[in-house]
Structure 1
Amino acid sequence: MDLKPSYIFYSQDSVFDKRTSHNRTRIGETLGDVCEGRCSIESIPAITVVNQDGKWMTTDNRRLWVFKELELLGKCVNIQVNVGQSIPEAKRTTKNNWVSIIIRGYPGGDWYQKHENRDHYQIVPNSTRYDDNDSDDNFTHSDNSDNYDSDSDGW
């Protein structure tokens, strides 16, 4: 099945900036690799989506960020997705109706800076974590031990 990345929602409130299994690069570097022709969109593993309350949602949040950036840059319209059955409640940590994500640390590369629309993410230092008790603009420091990214295949 094909979907526009903009039709897919994040399941988590944040992701780490760790290197992915895709050429051992950060998500921003993967974005640059696709934009500069060093790899194709098809070389990025398809994400799995689940229909939750009429919205397509994924736990493959790092890849979704890359695909959303590619869409904003005019580098893709639709992506191939796999349809799953459910997302465990523990992996649904979003605090803003699934529309944006916090990237904890530097994503790498600079292609994500080549457009003005940054509504779907915010970058914060890796030592910071969103706190339920804070407003949308406030963060608290943490060792990140209680946070994880659920992308099971290194993404």
Structure 2
Amino acid sequence: MRVSISPDSLRYTQDSISSNFKNGKSLEKAINDVAKRVLSVESFPVMEVYSLGGKFWCRNNRRLYVMKELQMRGHLEEIVVDYVGERPHNRRYFTTKTIGKSIRVRRGRFRTINADTLFSSFVYLTLTDDDFILD
């Protein structure tokens, strides 16, 4: 069932998330693109939300982080989610140490990229964050 809800009332299920989506796009770039109206909130897949113990939980932690940041920065008040009812936590994915109130964004110190297309004599090229240009 689709419902409108404030991102602030949703809880994370994980302790930490990557600073990038699976497609490689950074969370911060997504936030900035929505803020600049290059991207719309509606372009993100609808998040699945369930309830347990009177709280609303979201398994889509990276998207939830983006929506919470946008709300905190004044770019949105509510989002449409797919409410699936009361469900137990999936222990495999339930790693929060803050009862879902906060999440840590992992930012790797090193980035390793396959350099076959850049330098035929090197197999891998490792750059530090100081050398790597982040969007």
Q: Structure 1 length as normaliser, TM-score? A: 0.64
In structure 1, C-alpha distance between the alignment counterparts of 2:99 and 2:44, rounded to whole Å: 26
2:14 aligns with 12
- What percentage of residue pairs aligned between the two structures are identical? 29
Displacement of 1:98: 0.8
CA RMSD of aligned residues (A): 1.6
Q: Using the alignment, how far apart are the partners of 2:64 and 2:109 within structure 1?
A: 20
Q: Flag the structure with higher strand content.
A: 2
Partner SS state of residue 99, structure 1: coil
Aligned pair partner of 1:96 in 90, 95, 98: 98
The equivalent residue for 2:46 is 46
Matched residue type, 1:90: R
In 2, the alpha carbon distance for the partners of 1:73 and 1:17 equals 18
Which residue does the alignment assign to 1:27? 27
Alignment of 1:68-107 (within 5 A): 68-85=68-85, 86=87, 87-105=89-107
How high is the TM-score relative to the length of structure 2? 0.73
Q: 1:25 Cα shift?
A: 1.3
Q: Per-residue deviation at 1:20?
A: 3.7
Aligned length: 106
Whole-angstrom CA distance in 1 between matches of 2:22 and 2:34: 14
Q: Secondary structure at the match of 2:81?
A: strand
Residues of 2 paired with 1:11 and 1:78: CA distance? 20
* Structure 1 alignment gaps of length 5 or more: 106-124, 128-155
Structure 2 residue runs without a partner (length 5+) = 111-135
- Tell me how far apart the structure 2 counterparts of residues 84 and 26 of structure 1 sit (CA, whole Å): 28
2:120 counterpart residue number: none
CA contact (8 A) 2:21 2:62 kept: no
Quote the offset at 1:126 in angstroms: 5.5
Larger Rg: 2
Task: Tell me the amino acid that sits aligned with residue 73 of structure 1.
Answer: R
The answer to whether the Cα contact below 8 Å between 2:27 and 2:66 also exists between their aligned partners in 1 is yes
Aligned to 1:59: 59
The one-letter code sitting in structure 1 at the alignment partner of 2:94 is R
CA distance in 2, matches of 1:18, 1:42: 19
Residue pair 1:47, 1:58 contacting (<8 A) in 2 also? yes
